[in-house]
Amino acid sequence: MSNVLKCEHLRVVFGGLAAVSDFNIEVGENQIVGLIGPNGAGKTTVFNLLTGVYSPTSGVITLCDKDLAGMSTIARSHEGIARTFQNIRLFKDMSVIDNVMNSFNNRMSYSIAHAMLRLPKYWKEEEKAREKAMNLLHVFNMERYAHEAAGNLPYGSQRRLEIIRALATNPKLLLLDEPAAGMNPAETDNLMETIGKIRDAYHISILLIEHDMSLVMGICEQITVLNFGEVIAQGTPEQIQKDPVVIEAYLGKRRD
């Protein structure tokens, strides 16, 4: 299995404090990998490094063997990294379909002049984008909400819409930052199905941060555990569940 993502010896220092130190991870083709750890462990910082929000103090990030050093967030999106956030970031007053179509903007081939003058090329591209957006909504049983305001959707549907928007950028690697946050058990089960469907239907790799261990253990093939910015364990769900270092990080050391 070839790697879609590979991080080697990543380190980032803020004001003399290493937020992430010697971070290494590999995500293979069509693989679902979990990144877990206690609050403050550095997980979101890793996502910010991968997407170019932060620049590493040292270390290498490659996507499909291409070094991402110096690339902006937009450039990394073009290369194939898409991300969702802990806090839902939708255009809540816009319709569901317009939210999805907005994600196609960086791949539209018409110019500003075409858009301002409403030339035929503009309408042709917009129609293609609308069709693609409806197809994505259909895959996730969301087409009935197409013309609803995004802010009026149930919470679980808003989460799905954020993932659909990320998929609209045609990623090679999808980063999910606490996708089950705020969900009830039924919504979490539905989300687990959705993540599996994404991997199988779109043949992309997924790296997710999540505190819901039932979701992580139920869907991830490999798991990396962070604590205080350092990797303390890597392995299969079965290995991670039995790892005494991981248990101590989550539950604390038992007194004799």
- pLDDT tens-digit profile of 118-171? 666 665 777 777 888 888 898 888 999 999 999 999 888 898 899 999 998 889
76 or 140, greater pLDDT: 76
In this predicted structure, the answer to whether residue 44 has a pLDDT above a threshold of 90 is yes
- The CATH number covering residue 71 comes to 3.40.50.300
pLDDT at 123: 56
pLDDT at 138: 87
In which domain, by residue range, is 78 found? 3-251
Share of the chain above pLDDT 70, in %: 90
Q: Does residue 171 fall inside a structural domain?
A: yes
Q: Does residue 138 fall inside a structural domain?
A: yes
Of 48, 54, 68, nearest to 177 (Cα)? 48
Q: Does residue 256 fall inside a structural domain?
A: no
Q: Does residue 217 fall inside a structural domain?
A: yes
Q: Does residue 8 fall inside a structural domain?
A: yes
Whole-number average pLDDT of the chain: 88
Q: Does residue 219 fall inside a structural domain?
A: yes
Q: Rounded distance, CA 147 to CA 158, Å? A: 14
pTM reported for the whole predicted model: 0.86
Q: Does residue 130 fall inside a structural domain?
A: yes
CA dihedral 88, 93, 95, 97 (to 10 degrees): -40
| Domain tally, the chain | 1
In this predicted structure, the answer to whether residue 114 has a pLDDT above a threshold of 60 is no
What token pair was written down for 67? 């070094």
Query: What's the Cα-to-Cα distance from 45 to each of 19, 55, 123, 162, 224, rounded to whole Å?
Result: 7, 10, 40, 20, 14
pLDDT at 256: 43
